[in-house]
Chain A
């Protein structure tokens, strides 16, 4: 399982490789990401801390993270930022905390992790006296996780496949007569249950709490037409290969598909499932409280703006969008786009994520 952040950085790296983005521009993005917002208490808090371990998903992103966040913070705060690219799956965080052998300070993660591991006491609560709640969209500052960016699982389709007709809703997604062909959805379920309920006639605003039986029954209807994607790259590839005509994939990948195909592949935020990218801190992390200073260093709107420009990644800091109103249509977190989407419900996922994922796996694999 890859995270959205790793995926975003993979996108930038690929743009550089394929010449869509110049190296200079690339470095500019990174520099902007890395320049930290200084806080008064900074140096004091870090007086004892020598290093912070940032667990992320590796690949090309690791180099990028180091230049973006690691190096500038090292310079400013005198704390070394080490990256561990081994991927903070829920399983690994759990194993580490339970064996009291925690080597990570911050993990690049999602709502599912904060909601399932947090209540079990496996994560440190975020210290909002250091991390600034006002720099996070209201409602997305969670007890055990600080939102750093926003992404959405959106309806994406091949416009050549349906003779001019265009799917707009999840009901269309389930309509295999009008829109023939295979559909691709995420192997790890998030977003699919919501789409199933909306397709079954539930008002988007009334999706939560999810009626799991109803959603899974609806998914069974579509089962023969489903293909599963595992990581961002594969979700794009099945479209390029023509293996699917429609899919529910991360919007960062949808925008890439749309750009590279000159509009052959299209997507809509309508009824998209918006999710926060969340940083969590494992219980008993080696650097202790000092890690929150590092988190606070990544909240500046100027830096998030560049993420939005280059990756269409939705900024968590509401100030950011004001800097570039012309980008609102690409931002999953803009008021217009949020109004037509469903926001992933923290409370429901906290209670039901693991059970739901098992039952989803059972349905699609049997």
Chain B
């Protein structure tokens, strides 16, 4: 079934394009704003200025935030990829109904509203003395990111042939060896995309951060948040431009690779 090249068909196409442009247009508006020479949100009228990009590099609030976020997101990614992949493989091998309950528990952070687990982390982190520590943030983010890795790795495993693993086991290989030599190479794409999910989730996370950190640990989203609340800083437009550009590049690469790998019918 294809859309007829008729008036209704054209209207539908037009509306869909309008919707798609509605999605992308606001993100493009931040680009000119980031080059304004003024100290407030505005479009540059005459000269362009890079001052807000300088702020990102040289203002401790921004550069420190970027570094802290990189650190937290990297460690979170490593931890959740290791824990999540092991878990997905284990559950795949053990199987059965017993694992269903466990699966539900591990996927919970995807369903529970962020504000609810933010409250939960806050209350418990007070008692553990983890408030406003890098470690506290990493632990909280890891619990949120493990299910993401689980999902992508489980999806990759569902396309993996059990017999390969049986064969290796029957030849005497131990589980860890099987994991390393047989399973991992085959599910690598799932592990990698799980890692990317985890990194981006931790990098962008703000709600839990607002509750469990204060000033000692200042991540990039926190700096963006307070700048928006103070309504002063076009540096937010600069960091937004950087993030939009990076995303754009990543998505283009991804789409091109996907097109090359599997030409759709």
Contacts and interface: CB of A to CB of B under 8 A. Distances in A.
Chain A in direct contact with chain B (Cβ < 8 angstroms) = yes
Interface residues of B, number: 17
Q: Output the residue of B122, B127, B131, B214 with the most chain A CB within 10 A.
A: B214
Interface in A160-182: none
Contacts of B230: 231, 233-234, 237
A286 interface: no
A26 B174 CA distance: 68
B231 A234 contact: yes
Nearest to B218: A58
A238 interface: yes
Nearest to B230: A233
Interface in A236-274: 237-238, 240-241
A85 B215 contact: yes
Interface in A209-241: 230-231, 233-234, 237-238, 240-241
Interface string B94-131: 00000000000000000000000000001100110101
A84 B131 CA distance: 12
Given A237-B230, A237-B232, A241-B231, A85 B40 contact: no
B216 A231 contact: no
Nearest to B132: A86
Interface in A76-109: 84-87, 95-96, 99, 101
A233 B214 contact: no
A237 B231 contact: yes
A300 interface: no
A59 interface: yes
B231 A96 contact: no
A238 B132 contact: no
Contacts of B126: 95-96, 99, 101
Nearest to A229: B231
A95 B214 contact: no
A241 B129 CA distance: 42
The size bracket of the interface on A is: 10 to 19
A58 B230 CA distance: 15
A1 to B, nearest CB: 11
A231 B40 CA distance: 17
B246 interface: no
A59 B215 contact: yes
A230 B41 CA distance: 18
B229 interface: yes
Nearest to B61: A59
A231 B226 CA distance: 10
A8 to B, nearest CB: 16
Contacts of B215: 58-59, 62, 84-87
Interface in A306-363: none
A240 B40 contact: yes
B214 to A, nearest CB: 3
Interface of A: 58-59, 62, 84-87, 95-96, 99, 101, 230-231, 233-234, 237-238, 240-241
Interface of B: 40-41, 122-123, 126-127, 129, 131-132, 213-216, 229-232
In order of increasing CB-CB distance, the 6 nearest A-B pairs are A86-B214, A58-B215, A85-B215, A233-B230, A237-B231, A234-B231
6 contacts: A95-B126, A101-B126, A230-B229, A233-B231, A237-B230, A238-B231
